[in-house]
Amino acid sequence: MIKEIDRCRICGGKTLRPVIDLGSQYIASIFAGDGVMDELQQRYPLDVVRCADPGGCGLVQLRHSVSPRVLYSHYGYLSGINEAMRANLRDIVSKVEQRSTLKPGDIVVDIGCNDGTLLMFYETGGIDRLGFDPAENVVFSAREKGLDVVCDFFSPHAFRGSRPGKKAKVVTSIAMFYDLEDPRAFVRDVASILADDGIWVIELSYLPFMLAKNSYDTICHEHLEYYSLHQITWMLQREGLAVHGIEFNDINGGSFRLFMRKEEAGTVPPEVQEMIRGVEEREEALGLATDTPYDRFREKVMTVSRDLRELVREISSNGRKVYIYGASTKGNTILQYCGIDRNLLPKAADRNPDKWGRRTLGTDIPIISEELARKDSPDFFLVLPWHFIDVFVRREHAFLENGGKFILPLPEVQVIGIDDL
């Protein structure tokens, strides 16, 4: 069910120093309702540590691992619902098609494909699209689009069983590389199915952005690791792959996207080598191999969480109504750490119909549609997916024009009204 590590998940280093402990929390990606397993109705430790072994990799990671069966039996997030995420996935596919000469019959694989949104964006005709995802509910959505999806965790064996004797021209692993119990084994497994001229793309939260933006909401049981570029290149060098492109964006509070190829695919372009050196120099300058940035992060998290808790309590005590906007996985971490429940936030609005009628685990806040929430005319929306605020401002312009206000929990607690736009 749960196990505690005694060494780094990447390099095996045995010196693990504390980063931040968010206490024991319910699984953030699960929403209470009919059919929720007993294993989900309990708290698990959410304690972050850092590999500080001399000569180690420096990986920031969770001290405990919850069983994947518990985490992924039912998944509460659908990629296709959020327009900003759709645009991001479309951009990934566009970049892949620019970097790779796809032709009919080529296999493109999406690991952690969710509802299949990314796979549907390929414009090259006649390609063979294959997805992997362990969550039955999202696989059902992907298959409704006509996609071939293996409802299981990715493995080379499962790939070869589905596409015997073949290799993948493209592999994408978006917002899931940090969910792996054994990242090095995963790198080897992907390399084993990748064509010699193939490309592998990952996108994941970037540790320096998390620290700079006080984004403790990135921390959840699902996310076992928190990466800088250094740990990725550390693994790739040992498994025969190399970074051939790197990009940064604001997705999920700040992410980086890597385009990787096998070493035999050719030399990394000089401009990419220079960019990688620059990124690693900036990471070193941040002191990520020391306690300093993590001590500062921990202090800031305590401050912003206290500020949010006090603001919501003050608004509620004055008889004004605050609803949640976006019943998100990240938001559940915020709610539980701040101790904010249905007594202060009576309802949560969300676009995903699968969440309607359910409740946030641990804080017991009922989830309703955005339409019903608007009819209730709350005074404030607490925007838990704060990194999509630009999308929400456009969508809820009428709410703001009528005097409503948004509360942002991060990077600092902020109240936004129509006059602030």
pLDDT at 113: 98
**Taking the model in full, what pTM does it have?**
0.95
**Unique residue bearing structure tokens 């933006």:** 213
228 within some domain: no
353 within some domain: yes
104 within some domain: no
290 within some domain: no
What tokens does 188 get? Answer: 């080897």
Burial-class residue 281 by CB neighbours within 10 Å (0-12, 13-18, 19+): exposed
Query: Is the peptide bond between 68 and the residue preceding it cis, with omega within 30 degrees of 0?
Result: no
Dihedral of CA atoms 372, 378, 382, 385 in degrees, nearest 10, equals 30
**Domain range holding 328?**
307-420
pLDDT at 421: 84
Query: pLDDT tens digits, residue range 251-275?
Result: 999 999 999 999 999 999 999 999 9
Contact 197, 265 (CB under 8 A): yes
Q: Is the pLDDT of residue 34 over 60?
A: no
Kindly report the CATH number assigned to the domain that includes residue 369.
3.40.50.720
262 within some domain: no
How many C-alpha atoms does 191 have within 13 Å on its Cβ side?
Answer: 20
141 within some domain: no
322 within some domain: yes
What are residue 323's DSSP bridge partners? 381
What are residue 245's DSSP bridge partners? 259
Number of domains, the chain? 1
Phi, psi of 191 (to 5 degrees): -60, -35
Contact 410, 304 (CB under 8 A): yes
Query: pLDDT tens digits, residue range 296-348?
Result: 999 999 999 999 999 999 999 999 999 999 999 999 999 999 999 999 999 99
53 within some domain: no
